[in-house]
Amino acid sequence: MKQLFFVCSLLLLFSCEKKQEKTIEMPAPEKHFKEAYKEDPCDTDFDVFFRKFQSDSIFQRQHVKFPLKNTYLNSDGDYELLRKDITVLNYRFLDFTKDEEAAKAENGAFTINIEKEKDSVFYQARGIDNGIHEDIKFAFIDGCWYLLAIEDSST
């Protein structure tokens, strides 16, 4: 009986070895996006850049400086500008393709004005008889155009 107890104890002892846990190292999400979307050669002409920026979601994401500065008007009564930057994980494709037709819309009509300076461009949406007021800033940095900031002062 003692031998049986001894054998069972040994079996129990050896079967309860501590197993090593395997850990898998995951790449950081922002690093993953940078590696997944290798940059295309840059266009120095803003108009050429913008045509591709407004139609290609991968190209667009490559040409945003993250975290993207995002300010908006607090509509809780005091109308102060608040800032909540947008990370690469929270970024959503900005669709500019219908902006040219916006002036003809019955509701929410607005016009687009593009102000070009030496190394920056301001894409401005201004409402027609409504409170739309949005400025989008692009800058030419290290030979490429990038989206730097969005300011939505719409009421």
Summarize pLDDT for 119-146 with one digit per residue, the tens: 999 999 999 999 999 999 999 999 999 9
Q: What is the pLDDT of residue 11?
A: 46
Whole-prediction pTM: 0.73
Compare 88 and 17 and report the one with higher pLDDT.
88
Compare 55 and 12 and report the one with higher pLDDT.
55
Burial pattern 115-132, b for ≥16 Cβ within 10 A else e, equals eeeeeebebbbebeeeeb
Per the prediction, the chain carries an average pLDDT of 83
Place 5 in a pLDDT band, splitting at 50, 70 and 90. Answer: very low
Compare 14 and 62 and report the one with higher pLDDT.
62
Compare 24 and 112 and report the one with higher pLDDT.
112
Q: What is the pLDDT of residue 103?
A: 81
Cβ-based neighbour number of residue 146 at 10 Å: 19
Tell how strand 110-116 and strand 144-152 pair up: unpaired
